[in-house]
A = this chain, B = another copy of it.
């Protein structure tokens, strides 16, 4: 069963969502399996029924995040009610609200794992790479549509621009953690939408 089809009440879902919450706060290496199991109120045997190892858990956690981003991107970026640029803005606005609710801590769970694990573990690196590429694909589709409608600068390549937007967003989230404020995300929004993309 893929993560995407996993019912929310299953034990596996509980382990993943509690693990996601703790790892988002403390990092992957700093989080112990026992701590996740205690939070999920699940015996150790259950963990090893679903996950071969802590690394296997980490890799499945990336799928878990990707599934979340995918469903958010599909509902917000693919809707045809608003213009593609409005959809893209609203997508980032939603994530900005989430960042504010979390007191500007945590940042991007996938970005954190990339920073912490990409150099240490090849399986993590390729898994996070795919997660980023999927995120970039969602943005690129939106930009492609905006380009056809002449709502963005025509000289921009949608794919390259999508990669740049995603990477800049990751950098803005990193900076947010050091400034402890929304400012880096607002600067991102202004520079992308009123600067780079402006036709």
Binding site for B on A (CB under 8 A): 25-27, 29-30, 105-107, 111-112, 114-116, 118-120, 125, 128-129, 132, 153, 155-156, 160-161, 163-164, 166-172, 174-175, 177-180, 184, 187-188, 190-191, 195-196
Contacts and interface: CB of A to CB of B under 8 A. Distances in A.
A132 B175 contact: yes
Contact of A111 (B29, B30, B174, B179): B174
Contacts of A29: 27, 29-30
A164 B177 contact: no
Nearest to A119: B105
A170 B174 contact: yes
Given A27-B116, A111-B171, A161-B191, 20 more contacts: A25-B119, A27-B29, A105-B119, A107-B115, A111-B174, A115-B174, A116-B116, A118-B178, A132-B175, A153-B195, A160-B190, A161-B195, A164-B188, A167-B184, A168-B168, A170-B170, A170-B171, A170-B175, A171-B171, A191-B196
Contact of A128 (B115, B153, B178): B178
Number of copies of chain A assembled together: 2
A179 B132 CA distance: 9
A161 B195 CA distance: 10
Main secondary structure of the interface of A (DSSP, over half): helix
A175 B173 CA distance: 13
A136 to B, nearest CB: 9
A4 to B, nearest CB: 22
Nearest to A132: B178
A80 B120 CA distance: 42
Contact of A115 (B156, B177, B180, B187): B177
A190 B170 CA distance: 18
A178 B117 CA distance: 9
The 5 tightest CB contacts between A and B, nearest first, are: A171-B171, A167-B171, A168-B168, A170-B171, A118-B177
